[in-house]
């Protein structure tokens, strides 16, 4: 997608973030990156280990999982309520939705009309949090409290319900039986443009498909205007395309056109930008006081911490066991503007990382210990995204790193 996300007011007198070639090189040649990239470069977690009655049914669920891939700002309360983080909670909910709707008919919550009519109580039930959505409030009687719907987990339930209902409205009004049918139509429109093979347009089908998704469905409309300048991230819309490409490119189905997604920008959420700050690629020390990002991750400024994070990971068996212990720590809570600025910085950073890697010389890729790192020249942004997202869970020390928090958003 060539509608590239831009940092607002990015010029010498108003720098929002610093991304240096030295910091990029340090990451690319670090034991952390070279030792894990090949293993984690396609680990987006979007695989669906289910049996589907049709290709369209699978496409529908894959698109729904992408649509609902948010609630990152509720990672800590969800972990406390369910033992799962945000994405794992949403994925478990989508699985429950599929199982409970597999009989079809009026109770099919995967259909457009089912999404349109879903109730918050049903969403809470299928998320397994029906007993976690109340808070105690004092009453007019001394010493007596009243239990009312509320709290962060209830906020997640309300957000999920809202997205399902408003998307169901769009689909019903457009005459689509479900989200999969709408996405398939967009894929076919993109494929028609691709077949025209217009000169000078790189992967034009992605532009067409993403435009359809973003214009039609509010939960895909991941953008904001800062100081009069639009900042586009479109994380979930692009992830939908990439998840489809990963699913069907090695086992093609004639009914599902596979978009080319190697040149998509990064699917910027809260994990990718936070990790790039912790790993020294995004330097917020030059961020203007008006934006207020300079001190959100104080430990990222310590060189000894950076050296440890870029070093060799612990052995996988020990590391995985350690990473599962304990609840995550709440990260800094940002404003919408701060979150979009940081997410946009991550988009630019990942583009620059790939450009730097592809321009490395053969001599630079030949290590003193005899290793050849020629594969660095093949790094793509979506694979870099998968690595950063997966490695954040892969190491115990990475898992404990704070991620910024933005509540009440359905974008990530």
- pLDDT for position 367: 85
Higher-pLDDT residue of 343 and 305 is 343
- pLDDT for position 80: 93
Distance of CA 375 to the CA centre of its chain: 25
Higher-pLDDT residue of 61 and 14 is 61
Average confidence (pLDDT) over 334-352: 94
Average confidence (pLDDT) over 212-230: 93
Is residue 85 very low, low, confident or very high in pLDDT (cuts 50, 70, 90)?
very high
| 369 pLDDT higher than 50 | yes
- pLDDT for position 184: 98
Give the mean pLDDT of the chain. 88
| 1 pLDDT higher than 70 | no
162: number of Cβ within 10 Å: 15
| 270 pLDDT higher than 70 | yes
Between the ranges 283-292, 317-326, 375-384, where is the mean pLDDT highest?
375-384
Over residues 157-190, the pLDDT tens digits come to: 999 999 999 999 999 999 999 999 999 999 999 9
Is residue 13 very low, low, confident or very high in pLDDT (cuts 50, 70, 90)?
very low
Over residues 93-124, the pLDDT tens digits come to: 999 999 988 655 557 999 999 999 999 999 99
Average confidence (pLDDT) over 83-93: 95
- pLDDT for position 198: 60
Q: Are 149 and 133 in contact, with CB atoms under 8 Å apart? A: yes
Core vs surface per residue 3-22: b (16+ CB within 10 A) or e: eebebbbeeeeebbbebeee
- Indicate the domain borders of the chain: 21-142+157-399
Give the C-alpha separation, 7 to 5, whole Å: 7
- Nearest-Å Rg of the Cα atoms of the chain is 22
| 144 pLDDT higher than 90 | no
- Apex 291 CA angle, 286 and 293, nearest 5: 60
Is residue 8 very low, low, confident or very high in pLDDT (cuts 50, 70, 90)?
very low
Question: Residue 357: in which H helix or E strand, if any?
Answer: helix 336-358
Average confidence (pLDDT) over 62-69: 97
Average confidence (pLDDT) over 5-24: 60
- pLDDT for position 4: 40
| 238 pLDDT higher than 90 | yes
């Amino acid at each position: 997608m060539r509608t590239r996300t831009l940092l607002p007011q990015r010029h010498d007198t108003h720098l929002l973030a610093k991304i240096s070639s030295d910091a990029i090189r340090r990451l690319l040649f670090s034991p952390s990156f070279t030792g894990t990239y090949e293993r984690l470069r396609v680990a987006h977690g979007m695989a669906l280990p289910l049996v589907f009655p049709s290709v369209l049914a699978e496409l529908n669920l894959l698109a729904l999982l992408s649509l609902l891939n948010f609630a990152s700002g509720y990672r800590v309360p969800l972990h406390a309520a369910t033992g799962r983080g945000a994405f794992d909670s949403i994925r478990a909910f989508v699985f429950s939705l599929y199982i409970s709707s597999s009989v079809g008919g009026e109770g099919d919550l995967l259909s457009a009309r089912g999404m349109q009519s879903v109730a918050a109580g049903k969403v809470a039930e299928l998320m397994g949090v029906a007993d976690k959505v109340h808070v105690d409030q004092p009453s007019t009687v001394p010493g007596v409290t009243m239990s009312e719907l509320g709290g962060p987990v209830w906020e997640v339930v309300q957000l999920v319900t809202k997205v399902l209902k408003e998307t169901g409205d769009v689909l019903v009004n457009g005459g689509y039986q479900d989200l999969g049918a709408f996405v398939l139509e967009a894929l076919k429109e993109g494929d028609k443009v691709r077949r025209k093979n217009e000169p000078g347009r790189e992967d034009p089908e992605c532009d067409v498909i993403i435009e359809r998704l973003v214009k039609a469905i509010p939960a895909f409309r991941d953008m904001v205007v800062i100081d009069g300048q639009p900042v586009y991230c479109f994380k979930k819309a692009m992830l939908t395309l990439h998840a489809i490409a990963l699913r069907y490119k090695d086992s093609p189905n004639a009914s599902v056109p596979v978009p080319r997604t190697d040149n998509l920008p990064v699917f910027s959420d809260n994990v990718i930008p936070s990790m790039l700050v912790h790993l020294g690629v995004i330097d917020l020390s030059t961020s203007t006081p008006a934006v207020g990002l300079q001190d959100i991750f104080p430990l990222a400024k310590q060189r000894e911490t950076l050296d440890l994070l870029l070093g060799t990971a612990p052995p996988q068996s020990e590391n995985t066991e350690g990473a599962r212990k304990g609840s995550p720590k709440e990260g800094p809570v940002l404003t919408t503007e701060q979150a979009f600025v940081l997410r946009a910085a991550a988009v630019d950073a990942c583009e620059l990382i790939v450009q730097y890697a592809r321009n490395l010389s053969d001599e630079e890729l030949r290590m003193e210990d005899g290793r050849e790192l020629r594969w660095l020249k093949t790094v793509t942004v979506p694979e870099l995204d998968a690595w950063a997202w997966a490695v954040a869970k892969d190491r115990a020390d990475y898992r404990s790193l704070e991620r910024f928090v933005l509540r009440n958003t359905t974008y990530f």
